Chain A
């Protein structure tokens, strides 16, 4: 175990953690597709008051 290994493990863990957390947060906000600039308009993300 050298320093580079430790840093690498920490880096991987941190990257995955933040990516996962971002996804989780967005999903919780009700966004259907991550990063999609149209998700506000998307009928999928707000099925409650959608009209024909």
Chain B
């Protein structure tokens, strides 16, 4: 049997789902964290002997969808025929939540109401008479606190026992013509007055929700256009600094020491074996995977801090303060949430774009959000910061803020290409109550991500490294390449044509090109491949490696100056993300044109940034432009021409498109 979890956004559905199933789905203190449905078996202690599947649905305010993710919920409860619906009601906002409840009750499927967040109500002195509410709604009501597992087992037992029974609605919508807007409005009004009647009957409040509290004063400061943005910048800088310059490297140094010892031990054992074996096992598998795993502490600390931020309620405030800026470039304040999620992983960030209502804004955010370096890019950043810039914290800070800047510039570009359609773009964001972030949840989320990271390293990255090692060791006749003739290897001959294109960027050697290419499978691969092709492992131990001016072993082996190193880093950060993220983009945008536009834009951006950094960096440090300035300019000219041509084509169809757009919008509203 199936039990569906439905309710308003941010009422605690996923937290309850996690508690009941033992899963570890993403939670956060703002509306719209869950953007797709998820299902899993209930834990034995709740389900007993029966097989019960819990279905977690995105939050919705009503049965008529407003944003795409709300549509998933209403379609599911309407068409998938769950055996029971658990309606999670935010007890701190009963009057709004019950509107949806009464709609669910009309479906005929048995409903159990979980009056969630009752702990906050207790603190605020709000009392809700659950027995009376149950009577008025004609369905069982349970007081729950899903963060503490309170009241869950009674609630779910009742939900299971009700399966197969029929629900009688306390309020039925009259038979009206659903196309008649006024009639629908009038019905909705009646429904609301019915709800208000119930609320007045069962709820007593001690503190009025309309009173200004100290939390409101804090919100006032955080949504101040100047102070709010400064606070956001400082908070994000703090997150990057702690995870990538202080606590993260501290743990990573220790971990890398162990990995290196192990690698040396393996190499020592294989002293008398064929060199190819030692290369494959010690350098390829242990070295390559070790280089990636060595950065795990940085990534874990980062995930932990981001989880704390997401849990306390700050995200909604950031979204509010950033809205005016994002609006100016043609995005919306809601675009901030994908951007911040994107610091963890690009895929959920791309999916989080579903909460953006306007199609153009949604697609634009989808294609731009991966400019923010994701968790998999942290090893790449840390490697270059450590090896070339003495582990300087500014490298990672610059990487993130340049990413943000590119999002703005990209948005302006998209706005220019698609033609600015004047369209009223409204922004409304619920500001959830502040809460102390749960260390337990943050820890769990961190461990989940760490597990995924290790699995990735031990499977995909390991296999990629082995393949790279083999391709580098053999030439096309499957003979081992001799020392000094590395350029004849399979890997070299495949990567060289790409490397030629990269000469204007300052890193036109096949090893670096190969690393950038493997990065499309997973960004950590850049580090793994570099470790394999240059036979290096100890990227992090900055004390040993980093000398001034980048003249250390890593830098010397790679043949990069600090300028070209920065160019290479930026190239890897701002080119298209991994294939998985591109796949997610494809399924979210549902348009070939936009997808190719996105890939083209990202390739062009990565190339241009690297080109500018290399050429002007070299100009400043050495007084002349770097090699390949003219070919690079030609490449840039080609890109600009392509851009102009696309813009022209799009604008030529502008009027046509616009009317079409309007028609479909009108149709959508009617349906």
Please tell me the number of chain B residues within 8 Å of chain A, measured between CB atoms.
44
Given the known interface contacts A19-B462, A35-B456, the answer about A43 and B36 at a Cβ–Cβ threshold of 8 Å is: yes
The residue that A51 contacts in the complex, of B71, B280, B448, B453, with Cβ under 8 A, is B71
Chain B interface mostly helix, strand, loop or mixed?
Answer: helix
Mark B95-125 against chain A: 1 for CB-CB distance below 8 A, else 0.
0000000000000000000000000000000
Q: Could you tell me the distance between the alpha carbons of A29 and B36 in the complex, rounded to whole angstroms?
A: 19
> How many Cβ-Cβ contacts under 8 Å join chain A to chain B?
99
List B446-461 residues whose CB lies under 8 Å from chain A.
448-449, 451-453, 455-456, 458-460
Cross-chain contact B269 with A4 (CB below 8 angstroms): yes
Cross-chain contact A36 with B347 (CB below 8 angstroms): yes
Mark B1-33 against chain A: 1 for CB-CB distance below 8 A, else 0.
000000000000000000000001110000000
CB-CB under 8 A from B68, the residues of chain A are 52
Q: Is B414 an interface residue (CB 8 A)?
A: no
Shortest distance in angstroms between A26's beta carbon and chain B's nearest beta carbon?
A: 8
Cross-chain contact A8 with B580 (CB below 8 angstroms): no
Shortest distance in angstroms between B363's beta carbon and chain A's nearest beta carbon?
A: 14
Q: Is B603 an interface residue (CB 8 A)?
A: no
Q: Is B587 an interface residue (CB 8 A)?
A: yes
Classify chain A: how many residues form its interface, as a range: 20 to 34
Cross-chain contact A2 with B348 (CB below 8 angstroms): no
Shortest distance in angstroms between A8's beta carbon and chain B's nearest beta carbon?
A: 5
Cross-chain contact B277 with A43 (CB below 8 angstroms): no
Cross-chain contact A22 with B459 (CB below 8 angstroms): yes
Q: Could you tell me the distance between the alpha carbons of A40 and B14 in the complex, rounded to whole angstroms?
A: 14
The residue that B580 contacts in the complex, of A12, A16, A36, with Cβ under 8 A, is A36
Given the known interface contacts A19-B462, A20-B463, the answer about A36 and B345 at a Cβ–Cβ threshold of 8 Å is: yes
Shortest distance in angstroms between B319's beta carbon and chain A's nearest beta carbon?
A: 21
Cross-chain contact A37 with B272 (CB below 8 angstroms): no
Cross-chain contact A5 with B459 (CB below 8 angstroms): no
Cross-chain contact B274 with A51 (CB below 8 angstroms): no
Mark B423-464 against chain A: 1 for CB-CB distance below 8 A, else 0.
000000000000000000000000011011101101110110
List A2-43 residues whose CB lies under 8 Å from chain B.
2, 4-5, 7-9, 11-12, 15-16, 19-20, 22-23, 32-38, 40-43
Shortest distance in angstroms between A33's beta carbon and chain B's nearest beta carbon?
A: 4
Q: Is B588 an interface residue (CB 8 A)?
A: yes
Mark B579-593 against chain A: 1 for CB-CB distance below 8 A, else 0.
010011011100000
Cross-chain contact A41 with B38 (CB below 8 angstroms): yes
CB-CB under 8 A from A34, the residues of chain B are 455-456, 459-460
Cross-chain contact A19 with B348 (CB below 8 angstroms): no
Given the known interface contacts A36-B452, A51-B75, the answer about A41 and B277 at a Cβ–Cβ threshold of 8 Å is: no
CB-CB under 8 A from B583, the residues of chain A are 32-33, 44
Q: Could you tell me the distance between the alpha carbons of A7 and B282 in the complex, rounded to whole angstroms?
A: 13
Closest to A15 in B: B285
CB-CB under 8 A from B345, the residues of chain A are 36, 38
Shortest distance in angstroms between B464's beta carbon and chain A's nearest beta carbon?
A: 10
Given the known interface contacts A37-B452, A51-B71, the answer about A19 and B270 at a Cβ–Cβ threshold of 8 Å is: no
Cross-chain contact A5 with B463 (CB below 8 angstroms): no
Q: Is B281 an interface residue (CB 8 A)?
A: yes
Count chain A CB atoms within 10 A of each CB in B75, B278, B449, B459 and give the residue with the most.
Answer: B459
Cross-chain contact B463 with A16 (CB below 8 angstroms): yes
Cross-chain contact B347 with A42 (CB below 8 angstroms): yes
Q: Is B222 an interface residue (CB 8 A)?
A: no
Count chain B CB atoms within 10 A of each CB in A22, A23, A34 and give the residue with the most.
Answer: A34
CB-CB under 8 A from B156, the residues of chain A are none
Cross-chain contact B351 with A23 (CB below 8 angstroms): no
Closest to B268 in A: A4
Q: Could you tell me the distance between the alpha carbons of A9 and B278 in the complex, rounded to whole angstroms?
A: 10
Q: Could you tell me the distance between the alpha carbons of A50 and B458 in the complex, rounded to whole angstroms?
A: 31
Q: Is B161 an interface residue (CB 8 A)?
A: no
Q: Is B47 an interface residue (CB 8 A)?
A: no
Shortest distance in angstroms between B525's beta carbon and chain A's nearest beta carbon?
A: 13
Q: Is B466 an interface residue (CB 8 A)?
A: yes
CB-CB under 8 A from B270, the residues of chain A are 4-5, 8
Q: Could you tell me the distance between the alpha carbons of A11 and B270 in the complex, rounded to whole angstroms?
A: 12
Interface pairs A-B: 6 shortest CB-CB: A33-B580, A35-B455, A5-B273, A41-B36, A35-B456, A35-B452
Instruction: Provide a sorted-by-A list of 17 A–B residue pairs whose CB atoms are within 8 angstroms.
Output: A2-B272, A5-B270, A5-B272, A12-B281, A16-B466, A19-B463, A23-B459, A35-B451, A35-B459, A37-B24, A37-B448, A37-B452, A38-B348, A42-B347, A42-B587, A43-B587, A51-B71
17 further interface pairs, Cβ-Cβ under 8 Å (given A36-B580, A37-B26, A38-B347): A4-B271, A4-B273, A8-B269, A8-B278, A12-B466, A16-B463, A20-B463, A23-B459, A33-B580, A34-B459, A35-B452, A37-B448, A38-B345, A41-B351, A43-B588, A51-B72, A52-B68
